[in-house]
Amino acid sequence: MRGFGAMLIVFYHALHLLSFGVRAGPGGDPTQFWIFTKNPAIALIEEGHTSVAMFMVLSGFVFSVAAYGREIDYFAYVKNRILRVYPLYATMLIIGLAAIPTAYSTAAMVQALFFQANYVGSLNVPPFSSMFWAVSVEFQFYLLFPFLHRFIERDGVRWVVGCIALFVVFRWLAASISTNPRDVTYWHLLGRLDQFLIGMLSARAFLRLENKPLPWGLITLAASAFMLAILIGFNQLGGYPVIAYWKLIWPTIEALGWALVLISYTIFAKRIPGFLSKPLAGLGTISYSIYLLHFTCLIVIPRWIPLPTTTSPNVMSQLYAIKFVLPVLLPLAALSYYALERPFLNMRVRYLREPVPPAALVPTTVPPAANDRATDLAG
């Protein structure tokens, strides 16, 4: 799933940078070339920003599958999250500053280093920092996850439903002031928290369903068809460019679609032969490097290998990505993973622990003189 999401964002940005962006020219509006279609494959690439939502759902899912029924050591957990995302993130920041040193300011640098790149004022060194906003939203969720995990473990689905409803109202309040429901939901945790929470719920559904003898291949196809259908509907209603109040609930709908795909595919994937699953999983392994490096490759490579002009710009963008971008990006991402990411990943520590049963905290029979001391220990 990570590999699929990474490839989708590559082709999405190839379309928008190499076709729309080139035709719009400097200072132009690339969204004027937006494609409105009922073709599922084209709609998927045109609205490929949905891969961000998929990663948000996937994050909530993966953490919750691992942490289900367990307690989290918060500081060990945060240490692991920093080791996971920070080395490559900081490296891209350093490369960007070397390329554009005039962009530096202390305040902007501090904002970027503390994962606030999705807010105005953060250090902007494109294309090296172009994906920092999404990493920042992810990390903001990472800081909240142990608390959300505890609330869901204690209060269940009702708390999640209430939280999602509350945040929909909060988005409406923010959009009423900003008059931009699209940006309120797209760029901020305010619009993305639904997706993390639905990912966390989908993990619990997965754990209940994974051993059920159901036709998971067909269910995966049906879930994928449903996801494509809602993306086509989104596209027909105006797609990303349109600013409308119905977008206040789009993150929730989008997340539910990806949750269905994720649950069914994760169960079905166990039946996929290794010779097929291992290459797909290999893409997933280097997906973080693909995610942070692809924008740079899409900007730099055309400076050395000119874009063809003999075919449709939209088709050209996809073919160019296959023929010239991926052959550079994938080896570079693999090298980035093995030379930069993996050494830090090997430094991670255990952060999950089994909950201690209440009976184990206080002996069943305690001498009278020890009662106060036993109570203190239990506390």
Query: Tell me: the pLDDT tens digits for 326-366?
Result: 999 999 999 999 999 999 999 999 999 887 555 444 444 44
d(CA 251, CA 242): 15
d(CA 168, CA 353): 34
Report the run of H or E that residue 352 belongs to, with start and end.
Answer: strand 352-353
367 has a pLDDT exceeding 80: no
Average pLDDT over residues 204-216: 94
d(CA 295, CA 332): 13
Average pLDDT over residues 93-98: 97
Tell me the β-bridge partners of 71: 353
d(CA 327, CA 335): 13
pLDDT, residue 91, reads 97
* Joined tokens for residue 29: 């509006």
Q: How deeply is 319 buried, as exposed, middle or buried, from its count of CB atoms within 10 A (0-12, 13-18, 19+)?
A: middle
pLDDT, residue 356, reads 59
pLDDT, residue 311, reads 84
Task: Please state, rounded to an integer, the average pLDDT across all residues of the chain.
Answer: 92
d(CA 179, CA 156): 34
Other C-beta atoms lying within 10 Å of the C-beta of residue 199: 27
pLDDT in tens, 249-305: 999 999 999 999 999 999 999 888 888 888 888 999 999 999 999 999 999 999 999
| CB-based contact 291:9 (threshold 8 Å) | yes
Single-letter residue type at 266: T
Share of the chain above pLDDT 70, in %: 94
- Write phi, then psi, for 72 (nearest 5 degrees): -115, 130
Q: Which residues of 5-19 are buried (b: 16+ CB within 10 A; e: fewer)?
A: bbbbbbbbbbbbbbb
pLDDT in tens, 239-256: 999 999 999 999 999 999
| CB-based contact 24:225 (threshold 8 Å) | no
